[in-house]
């Protein structure tokens, strides 16, 4: 009886509160259409965090904190919540979260042990890499396992919305390509800079294990979830270019890539037909994200149906644009790390818990 009661509680739908406004996109946006599909915060997001590790500066920062190994669930949960806020949350909350993110990234500095070059998580080019890898991965998963390729007009709108979202990062929105060809060219330009180092390969293999991000699964459901995890891993691998997988030492078999496509597509189609089921799965993957994406999935209207750009929100709510924000803290962190050889201060990480969720 205790097991059944636990399972019933685990499957219950949490209470959801309407947002203050539609944030930066709204229901008419292509970004909402793509990011709200169940491929996005599963295969799409897993693909993004795996591919990101090929950037030596990013993986050096990730490896230094060790958070993906010490607390993978909360690390994944907080990151997913932030990206969901950018897409679905109200303008005030998201502008605040983006401002806090600059503080969090201020501690992501040091010297890459592989290239021997210094890195800074707030570096505009590092932020552009993260931003484009995420938006591109979400679209790749949507088109492979979801409704299919966007129309030319929708695709142009999607990349324009991607550039709008970049106003929340330290990168220059003008650097965001606005076409599929432009995105492909960006990744080709990045290719010589990417390294399948030992620390990158370790991180990528770790992040491909969906189970490390999951909570304790009820005993009755564990056999089913072992199958789910295996399909998610292979499904994510199947979306990655062969050259990336070879660089990272990951499986490249075309036959398994082909075999996984149909069952993944069918499963995601079925899930997409039931918003409550989508919320339950999201609750499993990222409980902190449910309050953000839940109202969108259930079509709960916000208090105000207005939208604005991030720049408008930053001006309205009194935040500096990210590239210029918190320079004193960033200088302080550089002085600690590069000047005195000390560990960076955790100020931003501590402050972020009220916005993105607890660290532990």
Report the distance separating Cα 217 and Cα 228, nearest Å. 12
**What pLDDT shows up at residue 11?**
63
DSSP 310: H
**What pLDDT shows up at residue 52?**
97
**What pLDDT shows up at residue 6?**
53
Min mean pLDDT across 105-114, 152-161, 199-208, 223-232 is at: 223-232
Q: Please compute the mean of the pLDDT values over residues 231-260 and round it to a whole number.
A: 94
- DSSP H stretches of helix in 222-286: 222-238, 242-248, 254-272, 275-285
* Contact call for residues 281 and 271 (beta carbons, < 8 A): yes
**What pLDDT shows up at residue 67?**
87
**What pLDDT shows up at residue 208?**
93
Q: Which of 110, 129, 116, 114 is nearest to 197 (CA)?
A: 114
- % the chain with pLDDT above 70: 96
Burial of 189 (0-12, 13-18, 19+ CB in 10 A): exposed
- Other CB atoms closer than 10 Å to residue 73's CB: what's the count? 14
Q: How far is CA 138 from the centre of its chain?
A: 9
pLDDT in tens, 53-92: 999 999 999 999 888 898 888 989 999 999 999 999 999 9
Report the distance separating Cα 131 and Cα 320, nearest Å. 19
Report the distance separating Cα 210 and Cα 328, nearest Å. 38
**What pLDDT shows up at residue 1?**
44
Report the distance separating Cα 103 and Cα 94, nearest Å. 14
Q: Please compute the mean of the pLDDT values over residues 225-251 and round it to a whole number.
A: 94
Q: Please compute the mean of the pLDDT values over residues 186-191 and round it to a whole number.
A: 96
Give the chain's mean pLDDT.
93
Q: H/E element holding 111? A: strand 109-111
Report the distance separating Cα 333 and Cα 7, nearest Å. 46
**Strand partners for 110:** 119
pLDDT in tens, 269-295: 999 999 999 998 898 889 999 999 999
Q: Please compute the mean of the pLDDT values over residues 35-48 and round it to a whole number.
A: 95
**What pLDDT shows up at residue 210?**
85
pLDDT in tens, 108-162: 999 999 999 999 999 999 999 999 999 999 999 999 999 999 999 999 999 999 9
Q: Residue 5 pLDDT more than 60?
A: no
Report the distance separating Cα 44 and Cα 35, nearest Å. 9
Q: ∠ CA(21), CA(352), CA(342), 5° rounding?
A: 150
- Sequence-distant (6+) residues with CB within 8 A of 76 are 49, 68, 213, 285, 286
Q: Residue 2 pLDDT more than 60?
A: no
Q: Which of 258, 283, 267, 257 is nearest to 227 (CA)?
A: 267
Q: Residue 3 pLDDT more than 60?
A: no
**What pLDDT shows up at residue 7?**
55
pLDDT in tens, 315-330: 999 999 999 999 999 9
């Amino acid at each position: 009886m205790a097991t059944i009661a636990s399972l019933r509680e685990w499957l219950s739908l949490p209470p959801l509160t309407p947002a203050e406004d539609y944030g930066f996109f709204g229901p008419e946006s292509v970004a909402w259409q793509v990011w709200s599909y169940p491929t996005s915060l599963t295969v799409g997001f897993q693909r993004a965090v795996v591919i990101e590790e090929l950037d030596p500066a990013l993986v050096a920062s990730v490896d230094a904190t060790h958070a993906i190994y010490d607390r993978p669930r909360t690390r994944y949960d907080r990151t997913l919540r932030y990206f969901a806020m950018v897409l679905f949350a109200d303008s005030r909350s998201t502008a605040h979260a983006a401002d806090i993110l600059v503080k969090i990234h201020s501690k992501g500095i040091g010297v890459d042990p592989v290239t021997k070059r210094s890195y800074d998580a707030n570096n505009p080019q590092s932020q552009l890499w993260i931003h484009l890898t995420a938006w591109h991965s979400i679209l790749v998963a949507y088109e492979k396992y979801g409704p299919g390729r966007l129309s030319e007009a929708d695709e142009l709108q999607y990349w324009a919305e991607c550039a709008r979202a970049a106003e929340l990062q330290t990168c220059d929105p003008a650097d965001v390509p606005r076409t599929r060809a432009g995105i492909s060219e960006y990744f080709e330009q990045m290719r010589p800079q990417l390294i399948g180092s030992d620390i990158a390969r370790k991180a990528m293999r770790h992040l491909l294990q969906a189970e490390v991000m999951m909570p304790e699964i009820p005993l009755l459901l564990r056999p089913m979830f072992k199958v789910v995890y295996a399909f998610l891993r292979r499904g994510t691998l199947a979306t990655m270019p062969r050259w990336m997988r070879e660089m990272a030492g990951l499986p490249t078999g075309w036959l398994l890539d082909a075999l996984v496509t149909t069952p993944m597509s069918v499963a995601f189609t079925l899930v997409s037909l039931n918003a409550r089921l989508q919320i339950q799965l999201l609750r499993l993957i990222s409980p902190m994200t449910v309050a953000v994406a839940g109202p969108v999935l259930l079509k709960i209207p916000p208090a105000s149906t207005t939208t604005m750009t991030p720049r408008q929100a930053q001006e309205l709510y009194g935040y500096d644009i990210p590239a210029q924000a918190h320079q004193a803290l960033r200088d302080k962190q550089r002085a600690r790390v590069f000047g005195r050889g000390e560990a960076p201060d955790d100020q931003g990480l501590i402050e972020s818990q009220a916005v993105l969720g607890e660290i532990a």
